[in-house]
């Protein structure tokens, strides 16, 4: 596969089923994914892109923008970044993340944040290659 065959486009409401199969590779949904998708798609503070190879969605990234009092501007948070297991290590994550960075910047975000598992060396290397810096730790408390 050549990277030229991959097209990145804005995700639409109709993409949920194809996106959901990718998200299943990251983990199990604990809530109503369709409701969350509908709520997010209805706000200007959210954007999402899919990577397509032919007619198949092989990657997904989504970002939420939110105001931050400390910075006096909007921050962006990459909520999900996933590429189908069969299409990893081919530059698709980089394409999606660059599109997310470009879009967050064009929408006035002053920072873009992303997190990953501590042991995910490939993701950490990509983030650092694109200019992200490790700044701290993320603590998580599961509520559902």
∠ CA 112-107-21 to the nearest 5 degrees? Answer: 65
Q: Which two tokens stand for residue 90?
A: 């081919």
3-129 has CATH 3.40.630.30 classification: yes
pLDDT tens-digit map of 81-121? 999 999 999 999 999 999 999 999 999 999 999 999 989 99
pLDDT tens-digit map of 6-57? 999 999 999 999 999 999 999 888 889 999 999 999 899 999 999 999 989 9
Whole-angstrom Cα distance, residue 115 to residue 137? 9
Strands of the sheet with 109-113, listed across from one edge: 6-10, 46-53, 56-68, 73-83, 109-113
pTM for this prediction: 0.91
Contact of 9 with 59, CB cutoff 8 Å: no
Contact of 86 with 130, CB cutoff 8 Å: no
- What pLDDT does 3 receive? 58
């Amino acid at each position: 596969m050549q990277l030229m065959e991959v097209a990145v486009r804005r995700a639409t409401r109709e993409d949920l089923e194809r996106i959901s199969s990718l998200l299943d590779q990251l983990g199990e949904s604990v809530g109503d994914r369709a409701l969350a998708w509908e709520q997010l798609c209805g706000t200007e503070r959210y954007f999402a892109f899919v990577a397509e190879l032919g007619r198949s969605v092989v990657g997904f990234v989504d970002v939420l923008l939110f105001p931050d009092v400390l910075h006096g501007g909007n921050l962006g948070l990459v909520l999900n970044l996933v590429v189908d297991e069969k299409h990893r290590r081919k530059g698709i994550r980089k394409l999606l993340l660059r599109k997310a960075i470009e879009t967050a910047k064009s929408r006035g975000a002053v920072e873009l944040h992303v997190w990953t598992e501590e042991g995910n060396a490939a993701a950490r290397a990509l983030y650092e290659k694109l200019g992200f810096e490790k700044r701290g730790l993320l603590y998580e408390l599961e509520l559902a």
